[in-house]
Structure formats: structure tokens, C-alpha cells
């Protein structure tokens, strides 16, 4: 990991984002630092981003012993892969994730090949490794409420669909929501906005319900892992819904064709020039999304 990629982004008086160079690029992934009397991190990035995250904490003046909580939105490696390495470097930190996924962080032997199949060989080396976490340092996040002091309170909000274990986190002081991948991604630096619908456990109905749930909440800002803080909450959620509808229509039409080409479908849904800096990310996430929704629909319709 090259630390020069790391950038600190002030979000609020008590929140900072660390752009840790996820997948080797700026503007793709963020870890959020939430400071009260205690400190919490939201998201871990991959093992390859940990060095930059620790450098960001040092630049903020946050000692390793001050970090008591690492909150993960879900178990995918770009969100949770670095958690074991961060836990090793932050000796007082507990790691919070949905209880159904905690065993995968203690024993990642099944998670790693699943992620490798989903993201594809081209981008797999950018995901690093996973360091197992001792079960006694893991806590269930479904009903989490953390009081960090100084009126900084974090509360869990289950938001399944992208994955069954997906949890968003309210920051009650700002009225913002750390939203992970619950309702689309927006990476303005690269002109990329999309929903990601990955195999093997994507659930379209659950994600539609999650987006509807979020549109009914009073959310001041959304804090995207991919990427940054956004005040135009209604517009972002509407755009996520539109992107999802576009992908559903594309897959629905493709299911009538016995010779489905996932790569070609992904390029139709997410056209992106090969020479662009984030081309590999766009290709991987586009193809993963098409494959995930195809798998979901084939299973739902009992198509072999």
C-alpha cells in the first residue's frame, strides 16, 4: 500500500473520512473515524489499506489505544477484509458485524474463495489477505447502540439486500447514516454511480425494501464507503432505484436469450472506457452485478 494515496477528508466536527486508496485508487473507498470520548472506525477496507488507515489515525492525533470500536457494514472484503489487521494494531478495539457473518471473520477459509470468484481474477490481487479475528473480539451488530461520549451515539439499522448481513449505522449527532453498499455507489472522481448486486447471496426484493425504507427516513446526509459524504440524500436514493431498475430490465431481457454474455451485458449497463483509471473497478463491479442478479433471477424463476 502506498501511503501517499491516503487523504484525510473532514466531514463534521466529530467525523473524518480516510481515503485509504482502496483497490489502488483514490476516491474509491473510505474508512470513517467517529470521535467522542472514545473513537470508532466505520469500515476496515482491505488488508492493503490498513497501513494508510493507521497513518490517517496518526495524522488525526488518534492513538491506537483510543480506538475502541471497528464497525463493519458487511463481510465483503473491501469493507471487512482489513478488520483483523486493524484489530491487531488497535489493541482495545472490538469488531462489530452481523452475527451471521462473524464466523467468516474468525475462519475466512470459505469467504476468500467466494470473494475471488465474485470479483474476478483481474482485480483479485488488489483485495489482499484476511487475518482471522479471535471470536472473543467480535460482537453482533444487529442491535448495536454505542455511546461514544460528547453526545456522539451510533445505532445500527439493518439494511439487507446487497448482502443478507448488511447493516448501516446512524450517527445521531449529525443525523447522517453510514450506508455501506445498501443503496448504490457514487464515485464522482470517476463518473461512476451504480448499485452492486453481487453473487452468491444478493436479494433483489430485500434491496428494494431497503431503498424504500431509507427513502422514508429523515437522513441529513449519507456517508458512502464508495465514496464520501452526500447531502442530496433523496436524489442519491432515487438514482440508486433508477440504476437498479435499469439493471433489472437488462437482466430480464437477457434471460430470454440462451447465450448470455455477462461481460457484454455489463458493458451495456455500465459503459466505461478501458483506458480510464477506474476501468478495472468498473469492469469487475459491473460484471459481478450482472452475474449476481442473473443468479438471483434464475433461482427465483427455477431456470437451470
Task: Report the CATH superfamily, name and number, of domain 3-233.
Answer: Ribonuclease Z/Hydroxyacylglutathione hydrolase-like (3.60.15.10)
Q: CA–CA separation, 20 vs 8, rounded Å?
A: 9
Using DSSP, state whether 9 is helix, strand or coil. strand
Which of 162-176, 200-214, 254-268 has the weakest average pLDDT?
A: 254-268
User: pLDDT at residue 168 above 80?
Assistant: yes
pLDDT band at 4 (very low <50, low <70, confident <90, very high): low
Bond before 200 cis per omega within 30 degrees: yes
Q: CA–CA separation, 199 vs 201, rounded Å?
A: 5
Non-local CB neighbours of 188 within 8 Å, separated by 6+ positions: 27, 227, 228
pLDDT tens-digit series, residues 132-158: 999 999 999 999 999 999 999 999 999
User: pLDDT at residue 193 above 50?
Assistant: yes
Compute the C-alpha angle 108/110/112, nearest 5°.
Answer: 65
Q: CA–CA separation, 35 vs 17, rounded Å?
A: 12
Q: What pLDDT score does 139 carry?
A: 98
| pTM exceeds 0.85 | yes
Q: Are 270 and 191 in contact (CB under 8 A)?
A: no
Q: What is the mean pLDDT of the chain?
A: 95
User: pLDDT at residue 289 above 80?
Assistant: yes
Q: What pLDDT score does 195 carry?
A: 96
Using a pLDDT cut of 70, give the percent of the chain over it: 99
Q: What pLDDT score does 256 carry?
A: 82
Q: Are 159 and 180 in contact (CB under 8 A)?
A: yes
List the one residue out of 45, 110, 107, 48 whose CA is nearest residue 80: 45
pLDDT band at 175 (very low <50, low <70, confident <90, very high): very high
- If phi over 0 gives left and psi between -120 and 50 gives alpha, with beta otherwise, what is residue 231? alpha
Helices 233-254 and 262-269 meet at what angle, rounded to 10? 150
Q: What pLDDT score does 2 carry?
A: 46
**If you average pLDDT over residues 40-46, what whole number do you get?**
98
List the one residue out of 259, 256, 266, 258 whose CA is nearest residue 291: 266
User: pLDDT at residue 55 above 60?
Assistant: yes
Non-local CB neighbours of 47 within 8 Å, separated by 6+ positions: 81, 82, 84, 85, 128, 129, 130, 131
Q: Are 97 and 75 in contact (CB under 8 A)?
A: yes
Amino acid at each position: 500500500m502506498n501511503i501517499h494515496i491516503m487523504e484525510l477528508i473532514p466531514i463534521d466536527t466529530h467525523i473524518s473520512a480516510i481515503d485509504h486508496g482502496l483497490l489502488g485508487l483514490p476516491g474509491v473507498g473510505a474508512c470513517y473515524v467517529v470521535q467522542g470520548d472514545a473513537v470508532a472506525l466505520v469500515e476496515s477496507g482491505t488488508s492493503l489499506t490498513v497501513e494508510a488507515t493507521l497513518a490517517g489515525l496518526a495524522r488525526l492525533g488518534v492513538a491506537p489505544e483510543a480506538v475502541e470500536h471497528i464497525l463493519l457494514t458487511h463481510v465483503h472484503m473491501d469493507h471487512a477484509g482489513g478488520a483483523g489487521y486493524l484489530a491487531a494494531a488497535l489493541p482495545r478495539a472490538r469488531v462489530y458485524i452481523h452475527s451471521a457473518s462473524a464466523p467468516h471473520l474468525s475462519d475466512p477459509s470459505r469467504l476468500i474463495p467466494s470473494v475471488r470468484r465474485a470479483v474476478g481474477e483481474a482485480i483479485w490481487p488488489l483485495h489482499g489477505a484476511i487475518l482471522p479475528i479471535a471470536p472473543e473480539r467480535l460482537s453482533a451488530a444487529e442491535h448495536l447502540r454505542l455511546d461514544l461520549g460528547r453526545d456522539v451515539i451510533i445505532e445500527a439499522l439493518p439494511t439487507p439486500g446487497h448482502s443478507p448481513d448488511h447493516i448501516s449505522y446512524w450517527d445521531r449527532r449529525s443525523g447522517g447514516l453510514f450506508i455501506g453498499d445498501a443503496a448504490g455507489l457514487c464515485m464522482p472522481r470517476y463518473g461512476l454511480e451504480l448499485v452492486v448486486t453481487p453473487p452468491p447471496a444478493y436479494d433483489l426484493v430485500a434491496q428494494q425494501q431497503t431503498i424504500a425504507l431509507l427513502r422514508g427516513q429523515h437522513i441529513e446526509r449519507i456517508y458512502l464507503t464508495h465514496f464520501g459524504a452526500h447531502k442530496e440524500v433523496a436524489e442519491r436514493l432515487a438514482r440508486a432505484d433508477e440504476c437498479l431498475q435499469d439493471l433489472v430490465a437488462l437482466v430480464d431481457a437477457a434471460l430470454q436469450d440462451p447465450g448470455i454474455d455477462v461481460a457484454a451485458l455489463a458493458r451495456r449497463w455500465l459503459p466505461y472506457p478501458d483506458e480510464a483509471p477506474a476501468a478495472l473497478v468498473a469492469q469487475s463491479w459491473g460484471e459481478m452485478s450482472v452475474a449476481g442478479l442473473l443468479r438471483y433471477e434464475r433461482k427465483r424463476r427455477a431456470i437451470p
